[in-house]
Structure 1
Amino acid sequence: MDVTETQIIAALLEFFDRQDTTDEDFDRLALLIFAYQFENNQPYRRFAAARGRTPLAVRGWRDIPAVPIDAFKDLTLSCRPTEEIEHVFMTSGTTRGGQRGRSYHPTLAVYDRSMILNFRQRFMQGLERIRMGILFPDEQAMPNSSLAHYLALARRECGTPDSEGFIDEAGLATARLLAALERAEARDEPYALLGASFSFVHLLDELQRRGRHFALPPGSRILDTGGFKGQSRELAADEFYDALSAALGVPRDRCINMYGMTELGTQFYDWGNETCPPVKSGPHWIRSRVVNPLTGQDVPAGETGVLVHHDLAHFNSVSAILTEDAGVVVPGGFRLLGRVDGADSKGCSVAVEEFLKAARG
């Protein structure tokens, strides 16, 4: 049975709002979306067919073939013709000589609902709104950045009217940020800082240079994401969260890391960073596996491999993504162990070559 984009979107929005979903429900929707992608995304269809993975042959979400994340830099992966796409998120281009992966969204209704439902549960944790400081450029400065959109959405839907952004064309607006932190300390109202991990390193360096530190009110929280990517000095996770807690007075269990990527429509969170690496997990519309990248098969329980995410929210492209991140499955989610290296790194490169060969026909 053919399924339309409109039907897929309606099914997803209904699925997001449900609290009683089962493994069978996830499989049913995953297979429906795979059939839609197989029919409408021609490079993916060729790759899946070459592996014998057709809608008639696949029985569950674990059998749906995953696309190596690097392939998004080489091929257009979209079910809707790209000339009809209004929203395109692009990767930063920090690797592969500036080549940028692209994720095509015919509507942001699915992405936005996925983000807000998850964000409210995992970051807001019962608060309706909180005053926010944003340490990342806005959507006007970075219109193709999924993170800029994510943070703008967080501010609009969950921030108070006096929330502010503190990155402009000159960089970190230190004076305004320090004034905002002073006000937060004096008001005794919870405050949230959200932004790229490397922006927090710049803030920490500036506070150390000035000999400043703050004690933000109880209930304050921090969200960082994205790592350092050569844009600041790198810190070990424990050193980073110790420094944040000491400089801003926010306990490490309120220092939350968001793990996301341009090629997904859903984010993962931990429940704070009291111990590193913490367990990360997502909502009921995303599932994760840890695999051997050469075979695509799950590694034995407790062993390290490469993370594969199956994200129903990424419906217009491909839902199953082979990342370049090492991880291990644990009760309640997975531990993120950094970028792959050694044999797994070579395995990811081979997987990209095999995908491109099959997808180009």
Structure 2
Amino acid sequence: MIDTNAIFNIQSEQKFTELALDVFNYQFKNNTVYRSFCDLLYKHPSDVKTIKDIPFLPIQFFKTHEVLSSQNNIQTTFTSSGTTGSKTSKHLVTNLDIYKNSFTKGFEQFYGSVNNYVILALLPSYLEREGSSLIYMVDAMITQSKHSESGFYLNNLDELKNTLTLLDSQGKKILLIGVSFALLDLIETYQFSLNNTIVMETGGMKGRRKELIREELHSQLKVGFGVESIHSEYGMTELLSQAYSQGNGVFNTPNWMKVLARDTEDALSILPTGKSGGLNVIDLANINSCSFIATQDLGRVYKDDSFEVIGRFDHSDIRGCNLMVL
């Protein structure tokens, strides 16, 4: 069994590699879906000597299979939003404490203690459904912040404007986290000139608005909120960790998470830094599901392990690795 405390205490590249290989061996033995996937690729632990040798499970498996490496009872199931009639991803979570540790320590690594912030959350599309891992995370952060002003906002934009303006003018540190379309709704109604607020978008128009490229979205938000940069959170139902961008759309990962780029023509080949490809994520907090995920995001990874997202693949991405019939 892997010591989860060791995961959150990683301080070096060498330790990350050691634990990633340990987790691969553990999940190969204990996750029947992942084991079948590896077997079909003829990948055995004896073949896996480095991180680049590890097979990455296509993220679509979370829509079609129970991806589990643990025999413990399921404490909750996080689900993706999905469009009407489409299959949603299901992340079966057997240990919520690991998730709490991950999002708390991950946030602290880049922003310091949650206690230092008033958390204002504008996440209507997530609040309007059940099973959102983002809502679970932000709700816990609101509780941890211990500020009475922290809370969720749905359609009460006038109240949010008044609270945000007042607290910012009082010099309080504020984190305004919101889904893109709702942040745009807010600045179309009100103009701000904020000095003590981090504005963090979680991406996505959720069918409410036309999709914008990041530069255009951030440009509008910077003007509307009167801030110099827009922060971003990179997370998804299938991951228990988040990466953060503090501006310019370049994300950094916590110490137990790493992003690699794969060749778009050969899904099993990892690209050198700086090359655009499909994004593979190693999330060691996913110890009880699968820590090695081939996402449908297109991006590039840099030498310092930071990365950016530049688009999305369609289903043709999995060509050369068409094993969804498992």
| Alignment TM-score > 0.5, same fold | yes
- Could you say which residue in structure 1 is the equivalent of 2:317? 347
**CA offsets, 1:83-113, max 9 Å, x none?**
x201111111228x32111111111111111
**CA offsets, 1:129-179, max 9 Å, x none?**
222211125998644111111211222223522212111xxxx21221122
- Could you say which residue in structure 2 is the equivalent of 1:313? 285
Which among 106, 113, 120 is matched to residue 133 of structure 1? 120
Q: Say whether 1:356 aligns with 2:320.
A: no
* In 2, Cα distance between equivalents of 1:331 and 1:79: 32
Which among 289, 292, 305 is matched to residue 263 of structure 2? 292
Matching of residues 1-361 of structure 1 within 5 Å: 3=1, 8=2, 11-18=3-10, 20-23=11-14, 25-81=15-71, 84-94=73-83, 97-122=85-110, 124-125=111-112, 128-137=115-124, 142-158=129-145, 160-167=147-154, 172-205=155-188, 207=189, 212-216=190-194, 218-252=195-229, 255-273=230-248, 278-293=249-264, 294-332=266-304, 333-340=306-313, 345-348=315-318, 351=321, 354-357=322-325, 360=326
**CA offsets, 1:210-239, max 9 Å, x none?**
xx31222x3311111132232223333233
- Which residue identity does 1:292 align to in structure 2? D
- Which residue identity does 2:101 align to in structure 1? R
* Percent identity of equivalent pairs: 29
- Matched position secondary structure for 2:308: strand
- Which residue identity does 2:80 align to in structure 1? T
Aligned-residue offset at 1:200: 0.9
**CA offsets, 1:312-357, max 9 Å, x none?**
111111111111111112232122101125xxx5232553xx2223
* In 1, Cα distance between equivalents of 2:127 and 2:217: 30
* In 1, Cα distance between equivalents of 2:317 and 2:31: 25
Tell me if the contact between 1:281 and 1:334 (Cα under 8 Å) persists in the aligned partners.
yes
* In 2, Cα distance between equivalents of 1:79 and 1:27: 20
- Which residue identity does 1:239 align to in structure 2? E
Tell me the TM-score normalised to structure 1 length: 0.82
* In 1, Cα distance between equivalents of 2:55 and 2:146: 39
Tell me if the contact between 1:134 and 1:165 (Cα under 8 Å) persists in the aligned partners.
yes
Tell me if the contact between 2:17 and 2:50 (Cα under 8 Å) persists in the aligned partners.
yes
Tell me if the contact between 1:185 and 1:215 (Cα under 8 Å) persists in the aligned partners.
no
| Structure 1 gaps, min length 5 | none
- Matched position secondary structure for 1:56: helix
**CA offsets, 1:230-271, max 9 Å, x none?**
22233332332222222222221xx21011111111111112
Tell me if the contact between 1:27 and 1:60 (Cα under 8 Å) persists in the aligned partners.
yes
Tell me the TM-score normalised to structure 2 length: 0.90
Runs of 4+ aligned residues of structure 1 deviating over 6 Å after TM superposition are none
* In 1, Cα distance between equivalents of 2:113 and 2:93: 30
Aligned-residue offset at 1:29: 1.4
| TM-align CA RMSD | 2.3
